[in-house]
Copies of this chain bind each other. A is one copy, B any other.
Amino acid sequence: MTEQKATNVTWHEGEVTRADRNRLLGQKGATIWFTGLSGSGKSTVAVALEKVLQSQGRLAYRLDGDNVRLGINKNLGFSAEDRAENIRRIGEVAKLFVDAGVIVLSSFVSPYRADRDLVRKLHDDAGIDFIEVYVDVPLAEAEKRDPKGLYKKARAGEIKNFTGISDPYEAPERAELVLPSHQMSLQEEVEALLKLLGARGILPAA
Number of A interface residues in the complex (CB < 8 A): 55
Query: Given the complex, which residues of B lie within 8 Å of A56, measured CB to CB?
Result: 10
Asked if B187 and A7 sit within 8 Å, CB to CB, the answer is yes
**A99 and B57 contact, Cβ closer than 8 Å, known pairs A1-B188, A15-B51:** no
Identify which of residues 39-87 in chain A touch chain B, using a CB-to-CB cut-off of 8 Å: 47-48, 50-52, 54-57, 59-61, 63, 67, 71-72, 75, 85
Of the candidates B51, B85, B96, B102, the one whose C-beta lies within 8 Å of that of A16 is: B51
**Chain A contacts to B: CB under 8 angstroms:** 1-2, 4-5, 7-12, 15-16, 20-21, 24-25, 47-48, 50-52, 54-57, 59-61, 63, 67, 71-72, 75, 85, 89, 92-93, 95-97, 99-102, 122, 180, 183-185, 187-188, 190-191, 194, 206
